[in-house]
Chain A
Amino acid sequence: MNARRANAEPRWVRLTLTAVALGFLALFLGLPLVAVFVEALAAGVPAYLSALADPETQHAVLLSLVIALVVLPFNVLFGVAAAWAIARFDFRGKSLLTTLIDLPFAVSPVVAGMLFILLFGARGWFGPWLSEHDFRIIFAVPGMILATLFITFPFVARELIPLMQAQGREEEEAAVSLGASGWQMFRRVTLPNIKWGLLYGVILANARALGEFGAVSVVSGHIRGETNTLPLHVEILYNEYNAVGAFAAASVLALLALVTLVAKTIVEWRMQKETAMLQADLPPEAVRSEA
């Protein structure tokens, strides 16, 4: 038998654990992904393409992208503001704010959706006022944007808070003492330092915005060609026994997920590189003696 390091596990243990992990991944992640594309293409490529060309499917794709595009800037704004407040200042209620940021993670998306119906529905708190002014939130796109906002709020802030806490405020103080205004400090010092973390949070929020089902489902009203996002559309098609249509739409979602995954990996890799660069402490070197 080969000599092995004293602290290494026996070969069979390592092999078994690896096999279990890989098997699990293949069964629960790989297989469904393959199944989506196999089912989508079951009736041939032309059927797949015509399913994708369906106006309602295209509208669903468009609506999903629009919602994500509207939601993300708010996420950036709120995430940076919240992370800044929590990482840089001490104030009363700071721990409460930190807990509140996590609320959307804790609440079931369906409950979040119900919450908006309660507020803006026909019999909700602001319902009568809204119908008087002929403005629809529930069973319309504004409600779906609100619900998606609620669900995706934590991602950017969660990503930035530990990052900004770790970086500290000395660089910002240095910038101010050198005469920088608040905006100059943010744009030239803070933002470059948090950009990869910010992007990472945005990617996660984007993935969630595109894939959100529960909360959006409650407030959408499932009006075909109007308030169906991609995930909702997949369900409707599937319930109508339109397997090719459902899986074709699902394949678009899966592709978006894969794109997100690649983007996430690239950003993670950049972040690691940058962190490694920061931690590369070279040994101190003696001052060059002067002539």
Chain B
Amino acid sequence: MSITIQNITKRFGNFVALDGIDLEIPTGELVALLGPSGCGKTTLLRIIAGMETADGGEVLFSGQEATHLHARDRNVGFVFQHYALFRHMTVFENVAFGLRVKPRKERPGNAEIRKRVMDLLALVQLDWLADRYPSQLSGGQRQRIALARALAVEPKVLLLDEPFGALDTKVRKELRRWLRRLHDEMHISSVFVTHDQEEALEVADRVVVMNHGRIEQIGSPDEVYSNPASPFVYQFLGNVNVFRSRVHGAWAEVGRGESAGDGETLAFVRPHEIDIEHAPVANGLEAQVQDVHPIGPVVRVELAHASELIEVELTRERADGLGLAKGQHVWLRPRQVKVFAAPEAAAYPLEEGGSGI
């Protein structure tokens, strides 16, 4: 089932949670709504589920108007960050719930319910926990039961609100790969909300980056990472160096300092898109090595240019080849620079180095 969102707005008092959202989610895609907390991503998910009412705009399921459809009639599976398992029911009864509350004529018999629940529990590999209570399960197990419960009613859309947010890193990584496989097997449309860029980039077919109730960019994980549409996206997805620069014709003179007037822009360069050379290079930037940190497979080099800090990431081989030492003078050559006009960029507070992965 495809989901179409048209010009959805939502306010909470004076706070604008969603400001004219348009989004198309095609059938069978796994879409991530990515953004910092308070950007409206969860509100959007809850509006799709029918748990929140939009102030304006429309939601369409397969082209059919669904804006005023009650949550119970939308046939969506919803997975909560904190699982929301029915605490007084066994795992089996939790998963069976959606089948047991069906109207009498649609309700399967007990044997059929038993079979379907056990099949789902086998799918999430927790059939051995059928008689336990939610409180006796670990976080990862609870979330898989919550997923099985949502799948029991054979939803056309699966909505997940920070599904792995409450889990520790190792379980989180395993579960998201597992979710990806599950999504591919079930042939349903899935939308999940996350503030974790790594999670969004790894799992989703498409990433919707949101900020302040608006969509900043929609694209494949590769697109949003390597071709960010706005300074916000650049900074939210991965580390970045920001340079104040001036535009001379077609290229930007990179370098921080005293530039003013019409031509003022901000240039964004990712740390791994900068090369370090010992010899002067054309369009290069002279800098002094401040520190060298080998971190696993990469080496992070901190350099100073006119008292500003620049971060560069090199492969270990490249770093070994260069043999960098503190205090050395080197030349930086950016392989890819993205330039935004300053007023647009100035709308966002620039944190040095952006947000880290």
Contact = CB atoms under 8 A, between A and B. Distances in A.
A240 interface: no
A281 B142 CA distance: 11
Interface string B88-110: 10000000011001100000000
Contacts of B75: 179
A283 B152 CA distance: 27
Interface in A258-291: 277-288, 290
A284 B153 CA distance: 27
A134 interface: no
Contacts of B153: 178-179
Interface in B125-161: 125, 133, 135-141, 144, 146, 149-150, 152-153
B125 A288 contact: yes
A279 B174 CA distance: 25
A170 B82 contact: yes
Contact of A284 (B50, B150, B152, B167): B167
Contacts of B73: 179
B138 A285 contact: yes
B86 A282 contact: no
Contacts of A279: 135
A174 B149 CA distance: 9
Interface residues of B, number: 44
B125 A175 contact: no
A61 to B, nearest CB: 37
Contacts of A285: 138, 140-141, 171
A189 interface: yes
Contacts, number: 101
A181 B71 contact: no
B77 interface: yes
A181 B101 contact: yes
A95 to B, nearest CB: 16
B175 interface: yes
A173 B71 CA distance: 9
A18 interface: no
Given A177-B51, A177-B78, A277 B101 contact: no
A188 interface: yes
B84 A171 contact: yes
Nearest to A180: B101
Contacts of B138: 282-285
A287 B309 CA distance: 42
Contacts of A108: none
B43 to A, nearest CB: 14
Contact of B71 (A170, A177, A193, A288): A177
A179 B102 contact: yes
A10 interface: no
B71 A176 contact: yes
Interface in B47-94: 49-51, 71-78, 80, 82, 84-88
Contacts of B85: 171, 174
Nearest to B149: A178
Contacts of A46: none
A171 B144 CA distance: 16
A173 B82 CA distance: 13
A12 B109 CA distance: 69
A277 B138 CA distance: 13
A284 B97 contact: no
A165 interface: no
A123 B109 CA distance: 64
Given A177-B49, A177-B77, A193-B88, A287 B140 contact: yes
A274 B144 CA distance: 23
Contacts of A280: 135-136
Nearest to A178: B98
B152 to A, nearest CB: 8
A284 B84 contact: no
B178 interface: yes
Interface string B151-188: 01100000000000001101100110010000000000
B87 A193 contact: yes
Contacts of A184: 101
Contacts of B135: 277-281
A48 B137 CA distance: 58
Given A174-B85, A179-B102, 13 more contacts: A173-B71, A176-B51, A176-B72, A177-B49, A178-B101, A179-B75, A188-B86, A189-B86, A281-B135, A284-B140, A285-B171, A286-B140, A287-B178
10 contacts: A175-B101, A176-B71, A177-B76, A178-B150, A179-B75, A277-B135, A279-B135, A284-B139, A286-B174, A287-B125
Q: Which 7 A-B pairs have the closest CB atoms?
A: A170-B84, A178-B98, A285-B138, A177-B78, A180-B101, A284-B139, A174-B84
